[in-house]
Structure formats: structure tokens, C-alpha cells
Structure 1
Amino acid sequence: MGLDWLPGNKPKPGYETEFRTIVQTLLWDKVAKSDRARVSSGRWSRFREIFAGPAPSEAESRALRQRYDEIGISAYETLNAPRVGYDPIADDWAEQMHAARNIEKPLEVWRREMRGYYVVSLVPPCDGIPFYSNGAMADYVERFSFRGQFLKSCSPVIGNRLLESSYEVKFAPDLSRFGTDLLASADTYARTNNLKMPATSPDDCDSPEGQLHIVAAAGRWCQFWGDRGHFLEPYF
């Protein structure tokens, strides 16, 4: 499967500390060591019990996930993605899909079942919906995910430190800085090798120009989501 980056929820105002702790609990094995040290001390005794013992039980994880959703704002909401049953443009999309896929269910039944579905393909182009994504081909990630696995072929541009860091949870400020670091590494590599930053993806993504395009796209993705308060959830 490899590495995909997901823009995790961002906390609703007033829930920042609780939200961060929930994320650090659920994604403990993907959190940087410095963040583990911060959260495993202080007043969060219940979470310390979880850290000190086995992984959270299924019931505990389910409860934390529910709370995560309750106090979080999703990437869909940040993108203002149209929803079936709420936005006419999404209802039109559902009608077109019903016809294009020759769905046997009556249209009204189909639309009722699809109510609430976010149609990311109707969101205007932006850096938060990257060219390099498994979302267009696989159903386990959404279109706004970034295919971080491509960075493995870009080590000449980003080096080992940034590559290893790409497998760790990054909260909003760190995610924005990570994006800045990625863009700086691409700029340095381009100037050192007398290359121009390609405006579109080259045919050969493993070429120096292809690597530059991947890294720059990754940097802009990180800045887009980090600047809007979301964290990076590495999925692998």
C-alpha cells in the first residue's frame, strides 16, 4: 500500500488541547518522540494509563474516534465540498452518476441513499487536492490525500531527514513548516543543478524534474492544510 498523507480533522475552537491528546492517543505509533513525551505527562492521567499499558481497546478507540469527530472539523468542510441532498450542484452530480452507471435503483432512492455525500470532484482546483493522489484510483483514501510514497524516489531532493519525517503525525504549525522545508529543498536542488521548476508533471516522474514537481506539490499540500489548521495523518 505504501504511504499516503491524509488531512486529519482540525479542532473546533476551544477544544484544541483535548483534540490534540485524542490524536496522539489514537496515532501513538506515528507521533514524533517529542510529542509523545509532552502528552505522557501532566494532567491526562487516563491517557497515561493507556500509554503505559496495552493499546486502547476497541471500545476505547471507538469512543475516542467518536469524540474526535464531535470536536473536529473535517477536510470536506474546509474545502466546502458540495453535498448530495444539500447543494443543487451535488444533486445534479448524483443524477448524472445514476444515469452513467446505469443504476437499477430509482433515482429518488439513489439520491436518498447518497444524502450527505461530499463530492470532492466538484471542488475548484487547489493545492489541497493534489495531482499526486491515490484517491483517483483507490477507494481507501479520498481525492484530497497526497501519495507520500512518491517521496521515496525524491531522496536526492529532500534527503533522509525529511523523508523519515514524512511518516510522522504533524500538527498544523509543524505541517506548515514541513511544507516550507520541502519547498526550500526543491528550490535548493533546482538552483544547484541549474533546473527550472516544471509547471506540470513531467512524463518521467523519476527524472530530476519529476522529483522537483513531486516535492513542490507535497510542500504546497502541507502548507495548504497546515495553514488551515489541519494535521497530517500518515497512512501506511
Structure 2
Amino acid sequence: MHGFLLCCFFAVLFAGLLNLFKDCFSEEIFGIITNVSIALAASIFVSFLWNKVIFDATKHYKKSGILDYFDDFSKVEQKLKKEFRNCKNIEIFFMYGSTFLNSNSSLIKEALAKKNNVITFMLADKENPFLKSYQNYWEYPPGRFEELIDTTVTNLIKWHQDIPSHERAQLFIYKYTKGCFTYSYYKIDDKIYFVPNKAVSEKTFKPITVFARKTTDSNCLYQRVTREKDAMISTNELSQIYPT
């Protein structure tokens, strides 16, 4: 706003100076100077406004921490695989995760075998009241989601307990007991891959993914998701089942 007022002030000042020296030039020369000056002033003004728009947008996205967008989660998986090998904290929130575990089992086992790692998985409770609605909407056979959830939990615990206690990471597993799944996310150290659930039942549609980093702003995407998770734990919407 201050910059805009400054531009207006200088425009008025320049117009006044032009008028002051009007008698020093012929009418033709003065007309040329005036037209060129107006064109330059308009160019500077438009450039200022455009730079301000870019600056405001950059500032907004810098606060949010958002750095990238993917139109298909499959494009993210290669990045996740690289980051799994070098991280210390992993936090994953999804409905049942069987596809993710099947394609990344070796990486998860590798992460579980690093003593200083802290790994948290959060997935649906079999008694979650919304689970059957999702199962019907996506045309899964009755009881299929429950089987997938059991398999995920069983595999994670087995992989963890197969590692000697003095060598393995800390593993925490939570069940999401009450709410509906509007998104999933994958937090790796100070980064987050946020995946809104698709609204369409058609399986060929793949969910999008937003990539962001943690920033100092308390309302950045990373911090907001973290606060929501902490709130769900405090109200027992996320209930710890491992370690018991």
C-alpha cells in the first residue's frame, strides 16, 4: 500500500514539474516528452503492481510451506523411497495401507532396523463407523477392509519384533476410531506429503499430492496437520494399540 501511494506521489510530482517547464519547450517537443513520460510512468506502475502480486503470492506460499504439487501419488513414491533411507522420523496416516506396505516393505523394514528412528503408523479401526460406507462406495467385498487392516498391523508388528530389541526403531501404531478419512499423509522429518482423498468412486482416478516443508509459521501445512493429529490423540480418536 505504501509503495502504491509513493508511486502516485511521484506521478503527481512529475506531472507538476512537466507543467512547470512547459514554456521551455515548443508545443511539439513538449507533447513528445509528455507522451513518452506517460508511457514510462504506466510501464513502471504496471511493473510495480505485477511485482507486488508475485511478492504477495510468494510470501503466502512461503508461509504455508507448500513447495510442489503432484497430480498422481504414484509420482511421489520414488521420492519417498529416497527419503526413507535418510530420515529419523516417519509418520504415516492412511486407511489401511496395504498397497503402500506391499510396494515398500523392504524400505519399511530397513527403517525399522535403525535404532534411533521413530516410526508412527495411524490407520482405520475396524469398528470405525465410516469404514463400511467407504467399503461399499469403492465396491470392496464385505469384510475386505477389515482383512487389509489386520494384515497391515500384523505385518508391522512382526517386522518390528523380528529385529533384536537393541537394534530396532521405536514403532507406534494407532487406530483411527471415529472420524471419516478426508486425507492421508506421509511425514518424513520436516517434510510432509499431503494426499486429499478423491471424491469419485472410479478407481482410475488417482489422488493428488501436495508437498510441503515445516516452517516457523504456526499455520503452515505441516504444523496444522500435526496439531490435528495431536488433538485426535488427546480425544482418543486416535487410540494407541502398539506398544500395548
Greater RCO structure (CA 8 Å; 6+ sep): 1
**Which structure has greater strand proportion?**
2
| TM-score of the superposed pair, with normalisation by structure 1 | 0.25
**Bigger Rg, structure 1 or 2:** 2
